[in-house]
Amino acid sequence: MSWKNTVKGVVERIFEPEDVTDKFTKQRLWLKIGDKYPQIVEFEAANAKIECLQGVKPGTLVEIDFTLRGRTGQGKYSDRVFNSVSLQDIRLLDGVRQSSPHPAPQASPGNEEDEDVPF
């Protein structure tokens, strides 16, 4: 079963395609999501999905359809689960946006108890 999700964010970085094998190529993209506590999430586009990334540049506001993939490790990694976020489609939302309209707040010294930490 495949779970399809959607997220909006600003492209932080796009990597060059990597030939993993002669039949498998992937390209990674970092997406910044969230305003108050921004997170960077890495997406992978594989094989034909790499074409979706043509024309996408850092700073672009996009919406990404993705699926979550995971598998258990083998051998000495049998107690681990390896996950990936697979890009299925990407849409440009409003052209290029160079920076967020809501800059991250700067921490002020001495106010640790007033900070709203997300974890």
Residue-wise pLDDT tens digits, 81-109:
999 999 999 999 975 444 433 343 444 44
pLDDT score for 3: 67
pLDDT digits (tens, 9 = 90+) for 45-78: 999 999 999 989 999 999 999 999 999 999 999 9
90 φ, ψ to 5°? -140, 140
- Residue found under tokens 């990334």: 53
Superfamily for the 4-97 domain: Nucleic acid-binding proteins (2.40.50.140)
Strands (E), 1-119: 4-14, 18-19, 25-33, 39-46, 60-72, 81-96
CA 8 to chain centre: 10
- Residues 70 and 34: their CA atoms lie apart, in Å, by 24
- Residues 54 and 115: their CA atoms lie apart, in Å, by 40
Q: Please report which confidence band the pLDDT of residue 118 belongs to, taking 50, 70 and 90 as the band edges.
A: low
Position 14 pLDDT exceeds 90: yes
pLDDT score for 94: 73
Q: Where are the domains of the chain?
A: 4-97
